[in-house]
């Protein structure tokens, strides 16, 4: 894991000043490849393993991808003396926080933490999407059953059996048959 982290490609979004150079130097010192960007890019980083970002309200406004779902793990880089308001950190969706001046051990620890949190968040988002899809399909099945119960004067279990038979005949899912029926019925009204 550490060897993999050491070979990571990092986008460092930080002003090109002595502090930014110091952070870049420390990240290189642990073995990562670093590319600096300033001002903050408006488009999400492509081709990087991590984004280390000097977070403040102006950066959040300039880089909307930070407050959305960034494509890479984000580590907020904050000044140890000044800090950053908690609401700005929360809005950044950063998975870890690195305090300047940076130590090599802290860099690797925060990269590992950011990657783990990022992976966990992605798994949760995928589960939520699947649950929403299942809920939507269940609602359409219920709507299709109601249509059949009204139009064909069937009971609920008979309507579902009808949908199931149609799905098997057409080699489709009950959800797909239900969606087609609901869509067709919606067009007819």
- Asked if residues 30 and 108 have their Cβ atoms less than 8 Å apart, the reply is yes
- Give the model confidence (pLDDT) of 127-183 as tens digits: 999 999 999 999 999 999 999 999 999 999 999 999 999 999 999 999 999 999 999
Would you state the CATH architecture of domain 2-123? 3-Layer(aba) Sandwich (3.40)
The conformation of residue 53, written as its DSSP 8-state character, comes to E
Question: What is the rounded CA–CA span in Å between residue 22 and residue 26?
Answer: 6
Question: 127-188 — its CATH code?
Answer: 1.10.10.10
- Give the model confidence (pLDDT) of 94-141 as tens digits: 899 988 888 888 888 999 999 999 999 999 999 999 999 999 999 999
Strand order in the sheet with 9-13: 33-37, 9-13, 50-54, 74-79, 96-100
* pTM attached to this predicted model: 0.75
pLDDT at 172: 95
- Asked if residues 22 and 101 have their Cβ atoms less than 8 Å apart, the reply is yes
Q: What are the domain boundaries of the chain?
A: 2-123, 127-188
């Amino acid at each position: 894991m550490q060897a993999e982290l050491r070979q990571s490609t990092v986008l460092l979004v930080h002003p090109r000043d002595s502090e930014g150079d110091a952070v870049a130097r420390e990240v290189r010192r642990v073995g990562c490849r670093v590319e600096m960007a300033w001002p903050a890019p408006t488009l999400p980083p492509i081709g990087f393993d991590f984004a280390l970002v000097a977070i403040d309200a102006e950066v959040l406004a300039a880089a909307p991808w930070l407050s959305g779902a960034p494509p890479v793990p984000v580590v907020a880089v904050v000044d140890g003396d000044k800090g950053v308001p908690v609401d700005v950190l929360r809005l950044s969706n950063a998975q870890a926080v690195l305090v300047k001046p940076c130590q090599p051990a802290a860099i690797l620890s925060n990269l590992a933490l950011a990657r783990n949190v990022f992976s966990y968040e992605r798994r949760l988002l995928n589960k939520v999407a699947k649950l929403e899809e299942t809920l939507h399909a269940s609602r359409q099945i219920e709507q299709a059953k109601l249509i059949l119960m009204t139009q064909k004067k069937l009971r609920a279990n008979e309507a579902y059996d009808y949908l199931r038979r149609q799905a098997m005949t057409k080699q489709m899912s009950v959800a797909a048959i239900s969606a087609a029926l609901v869509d067709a019925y919606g067009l007819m009204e």
